Structure 1
């Protein structure tokens, strides 16, 4: 699997899916707090496995879509960090 160059945070995509719906209304439909969903939409929090299932059900997508999107974002961000003193374990 190739990594996407600078993938978007899943919150950006959620915002597009919501269209004109408010975060408050969407949070109510997802049965999460407005603050919880707002943090994801703003990119301040990631999509948890539970949230991935909620989004999958509500938006008629798969939970794997949201979890995968979060993983791609997290891997890209982690790849920008310089790591020192890491030694190989296997040949």
Structure 2
């Protein structure tokens, strides 16, 4: 059975519900348009770096949680779309010893 892919907006909606707040109230406190929050909640928009910074500050968690939710969502969605074709791509291991070796 395929694993369900959860949009980060579902997490945001759950948090707002637990706090008893509306998307409009949150948007005002974050200093963003209301439609940014409602579109995220509806799964119509992803969480950008700007939004992650604001949410991280607002929740006191830092932005990484929100960026990771978005990243994981996108990777799972892409893996589902690519399917078996991913396994057909040959692997060429890097000779770089660290991330620093990959930088120009």
Per the normalisation by structure 2, the TM-score is 0.73
Give the aligned CA root-mean-square deviation in angstroms: 2.0
Query: In the alignment, does 2:78 pair up with 1:70?
Result: no
Per-residue deviation, 1:81: 1.4
Bigger Cα Rg = 2
Query: In the alignment, does 2:92 pair up with 1:90?
Result: yes
2:16 paired residue number: 18
Residue 7 of structure 1 contacts residue 72 of structure 1 at CA under 8 Å; is this kept in 2? no
1 CA distance for matches of 2:52 and 2:78? 21
Q: 1:82 to 1:7 in 2, by over 3 A?
A: closer
Q: Write 1 or 2 for the structure with the bigger share of helix.
A: 2
Residue 6 of structure 1 contacts residue 76 of structure 1 at CA under 8 Å; is this kept in 2? no
2 CA distance for matches of 1:89 and 1:7? 26
Q: How many residues align?
A: 87
Per-residue deviation, 1:87: 5.2
2:39 paired residue number: 39
Q: Structure 1 stretches of 5 or more lacking a match?
A: none
1:80 paired residue number: 80
2 CA distance for matches of 1:89 and 1:29? 47
2:55 paired residue number: 55
Q: Structure 2 stretches of 5 or more lacking a match?
A: 94-104
